Structure 1
């Protein structure tokens, strides 16, 4: 039987976040669901008044996040699992993206995650347990054209997850960074495209392709969120977890290309020490 826990989930109003909230509540867990649109949870709150706490949280605000973590602990008497799920993506080449557009992607995907981690770790460290689950992407392993700001954030999420795991394993804190592929959620419908489009990058064609793919993804969100729930009951969950056949193929092929390139340039790599 699964242990019932207190969960804190960002980006919980739609997609994977909302699916996870619903699954957790159905299993008797207590859930803090953060979002900017609390009305999404009206029906769930009626069904689970003692197990759901919706909070309007700006994850890019360090102070706002700290307050919400304290509210979580005060309301439910503890905290066991954090899922950094909130995501934002703007599509456009590096040349097309403005400074503000690039920074907005980093603020939500990276600094939002960092803010939640910093607010959570002291509590987990003091209690000697806790599980931090960071949602990255296959775009955290592979650079894709017209996704540079998203790549930058998601690569960083993997890097900070690895560092965090090294820092906190001595305190009994578990860290998992998940890299999903294409799952059938509304994420593609929420994509933003660079305003300063340059015809040479054919962003209009890319936008058309992404829109047409929405609703056709092979990944089943119900299976993904069940895997997340199962992870927290494992004595030794993975640090890295790829989810989806598409992600597995992309990442393994990319690793093979990297391995070959490293081998080709090995002599140059090893030539840098003093004679």
Structure 2
């Protein structure tokens, strides 16, 4: 989705005045999170401790755990509306403190990969 959104945003003629934003939300207390969704049993291939899906399932199975902090979905919806009203919206909107932490961690990982393997690109011309 990220690559598609970036490409679409770059290829749109500015005269068309079409804006594109990739919304990257964290956890919000929607019907899916608050127990109104059907959760199927985990496939055995996705039960290995340490996998992200295991943490997600654990959070969904323990909704009342005080360590699970879900954002307010109604407040997020207001932010979506506010975003749609901006004359020049951002390419990305990272919404929720948990999402911000995840993206910051990803940015550090990408920076580390660049630092560690930049030399691989030096003799390619």
TM-score using structure 2 length: 0.74
What is the count of residue pairs matched by the alignment? 116
Aligned match of 1:254: 106
Of residues 181, 184, 201, the one that matches 2:26 is 181
Q: RMSD of the alignment, in Å?
A: 2.8
Matches for 1:1-275 after TM superposition, within 5 Å: 157-170=1-14, 171-188=16-33, 189=35, 190=37, 192-193=39-40, 196-198=43-45, 201=48, 206=54, 207-213=57-63, 216-273=68-125
User: Counterparts of 1:180 and 1:230 in 2: how far apart (Å)?
Assistant: 15
SS in 2 for 1:175: coil
User: Counterparts of 1:242 and 1:259 in 2: how far apart (Å)?
Assistant: 19
Unpaired runs of 5+ in structure 1? 1-156
Higher strand content, 1 or 2: 1
Q: Is the 8 A contact 1:184 1:221 kept in 2?
A: yes
Q: Report the Cα offset of residue 266 of structure 1.
A: 1.1
1:82-101 per-position Cα deviation (integer Å, ceiling 9, x unaligned): xxxxxxxxxxxxxxxxxxxx
Q: Is the 8 A contact 1:184 1:214 kept in 2?
A: no
Unpaired runs of 5+ in structure 2? none
User: Counterparts of 1:248 and 1:192 in 2: how far apart (Å)?
Assistant: 27
SS in 2 for 1:166: helix
TM-score using structure 1 length: 0.37
User: Counterparts of 2:40 and 2:124 in 1: how far apart (Å)?
Assistant: 43
SS in 2 for 1:174: coil
Closer, same or farther: CA 208–258 of 1 in aligned 2, 3 Å:
closer
User: Counterparts of 1:210 and 1:234 in 2: how far apart (Å)?
Assistant: 34
User: Counterparts of 1:269 and 1:191 in 2: how far apart (Å)?
Assistant: 48
User: Counterparts of 2:27 and 2:62 in 1: how far apart (Å)?
Assistant: 13
Q: Report the Cα offset of residue 199 of structure 1.
A: 8.1
